[in-house]
Amino acid sequence: MTSLRNVSLIGAPTDVGAGARGAGMGPEAIRVAGLREALRGRGVDVLDRGNLAGPSNPWLPPVDGYRHLDEVVAWNRAVHDAVYSELKTGRMPILLGGDHCLGLGSIAAVAHHCRDVGKKLRVLWLDAHADFNTSALTPSGNIHGMPVACLCGFGPQELIEIGGHVPAIQAKWVRQIGIRSVDEGERRFVHEQDLEVFDMRFIDEMGMRHTMELALATLDDNTHLHVSFDVDFLDPVMAPGVGTTVPGGPTYREAHLCMEMIHDTGRLASLDVMELNPALDERNKTALVAVDLIESLFGKSTLMRK
């Protein structure tokens, strides 16, 4: 049984899928911001497994609609194997990115594990972007804009088959929250595949509480809840240290409420913390805010009510 009390940190120090260099330094910045200590303070047993190894970033233009496909495949295989083996031993993996292309390997591993043990899967994708591009739709060729499409079976064979089953997940298992930047063709594809998106307009109108109630509805005892937290989900005023900032994200309080409500379900079983880019940060403030939010995800609360 995966337990919130048993966490393994896995660093994936690469920016091969991103459009800006620097996310490869993310894992160390999160460590420096005190993630392990914060979790231990919540009574969690934390093992830091260190960093995975993989190819360096060749920094080349796209080929057939993909930048660095071979390198992205290599990193995602390493992430899949590491995340899968933690789940197998009953520990909860926290993947420290690294750019969001690695959400593919992580979630493919989680889905693989869920198939093994007969669990249902719910994926919460906290992000400014839908990351639902394909090689035909992408404006950039950057694979960090494609992991959700790849997980749903739309992408290059070497990537989509990483978890051993194509597609790794179904679009209807996913809830996207905080979305506010979607490319033209990508938007059509999101609708075509019926991805459930709670965009910023929805959060503005309905509030974070109602949004999370809907996103977390119909979880049951047999559901594995995975959170893929792209730090660019947050408003750039408090989280400038990311490669693809989009203004108008959730505020500090909204983000905490989001995390607290996820914690309250008691179903959180794996987590990605992605796209943190220390080269663009200010005195590590984005990493500190991310750690703060992860504490809420693990039950820290300022609530006075019993």
> Is 129 among the catalytic positions?
yes
Q: Which stretch binds ligand ARG (CB under 6 A): 55-63, 128-136, 166-174, 199-207?
A: 128-136
> Is 131 among the catalytic positions?
yes
CB 99 within 8 A of CB 144: yes
Among 183, 230, 272, 292, contact with Mn ion (rule: CB under 5 A): 230
CB 242 within 8 A of CB 100: no
Name which of 215 and 276 has its Cβ closer to ligand ARG. Answer: 276
Name which of 44 and 227 has its Cβ closer to ligand ARG. Answer: 227
CB 25 within 8 A of CB 32: no
- Scanning residues 58 to 117, which ones bind ligand ARG (CB under 6 A)? 100
Of 141, 137, 144, 140, which is closest to residue 192 (Cα–Cα)?
A: 137
E-assigned strand segments in 188-238? 196-199, 223-230
CB 146 within 8 A of CB 156: no
> Is 254 among the catalytic positions?
no
Of 221, 220, 223, 214, which is closest to residue 196 (Cα–Cα)?
A: 214
Q: How many residues bind ligand ARG (CB under 6 A)?
A: 15
- Scanning residues 134 to 193, which ones bind ligand ARG (CB under 6 A)? 138-140, 142, 144-145, 183
Cβ neighbours around 53 below 10 Å, total: 11
Q: Does 232 bind ligand ARG (CB under 6 A)?
A: yes
Amino acid identity, position 264: D
Catalogue the active-site residues: 100, 127, 129, 131, 144, 230, 232, 275
**Which chain residues interact with Mn ion by CB under 5 A?**
100, 127, 129, 131, 230
**Which chain residues interact with ligand ARG by CB under 6 A?**
100, 129, 131, 133, 138-140, 142, 144-145, 183, 230, 232, 244, 275
